[in-house]
Amino acid sequence: MHRVLIEPGQWDAPLVRLPRAEAHYLLHVVRAQDGERVGVFDGCGGEGVARVETTGGGAALRLEQREPDRRPSVDLCLLQAIPKGKRMDLLIEKTTELGVSEIVPLITERTVVRPHQARQAGRVDRWRRVCESAARQCGVSRVPAIRDIAHLPDVLREGPGAGLFVVGVLDRPAPPLRDVLRAHPRPGRITVLIGPEGDLTAPEIALATQHGALPMSLGPLTLRVETAAIHVASAVGYEYGRS
């Protein structure tokens, strides 16, 4: 069943008129027919079933039923240094499929990609579209929040919030991620800081630990940035379950 994203406040409307982009996707990409049943979700946990009603080149949905909200057993937030090239797109796509709740794109001391201030909003908008597309395809009901690009010290000063806070390290002894997760069986929220190519600097790791981060290792291999993020999201999903 094809899935369509609607606004969270539209569940009480008997007929939901789709914006142009969603109508184009429904009618011209997946070629849904008038009267066809489709899945709907609002990106905040709400999902259900609706029927397509075509309207003069556009499309609307007549909502038929809504499913109970499936909250994740743990919220996973990635504080993610922006990698080079289009790797951030891949990282966001795959971690969305694995159930991440929030991604904060970071500029760190060794971050190579430093979008000009005027271009940052466009970059973040594209990442949000990547999130929506991945969520639509894979069946998750919650679209991760993609925050504005920020500098690591600013994010640490604001604080990672409640729950478990860990930072990946390469050049020093640290317990494996598995052991850190199993020492915290019900964290509610996990915030993971992953550095750029070349890793975080020693002062950055020290600053993170001063703000409560526990160092952890992803094993003896040196993983690409996007591979590290996918590995963490997969491990968290395995350890705590997706919902």
DSSP code of residue 19: P
Mean pLDDT over each residue of the chain, to the nearest integer: 89
179: pLDDT strictly greater than 80 = yes
114: pLDDT strictly greater than 80 = no
* CATH 2.40.240.20 describes domain 3-67: yes
Average pLDDT of the segment spanning 196-224? 93
Average pLDDT of the segment spanning 110-117? 81
- Find tokens 């971690």 and name the residue: 95
- Count of residues in the chain: 243
**Confidence label for 118 from pLDDT (cuts 50, 70 and 90):** low
Domain positions in the chain: 3-67, 75-240
Whole-angstrom distance, CA of residue 195 vs CA of residue 209: 14
Whole-angstrom distance, CA of residue 106 vs CA of residue 152: 6
Average pLDDT of the segment spanning 24-40? 86
pLDDT given at position 196: 94
Q: Do domains 3-67 and 75-240 have the same CATH topology?
A: no
Q: Tokens for 62, please give them.
A: 């007549």
Do 17 and 60 contact (CB within 8 A), yes or no? yes
Residue partners of 23: CB distance under 8 A and separation at least 6: 58, 59
**Cα Rg for the chain, rounded, in angstroms?**
20
CA torsion angle 240 241 242 243 (round to 10): -100
Give 119-168 pLDDT, tens digit per residue: 788 899 999 999 998 988 888 888 999 999 999 999 999 887 778 999 99
Average pLDDT of the segment spanning 15-36? 85
CATH homologous superfamily for 75-240?
SPOUT methyltransferase, trefoil knot domain (3.40.1280.10)
**Confidence label for 243 from pLDDT (cuts 50, 70 and 90):** low
Q: Higher-confidence residue: 175 or 3?
A: 175
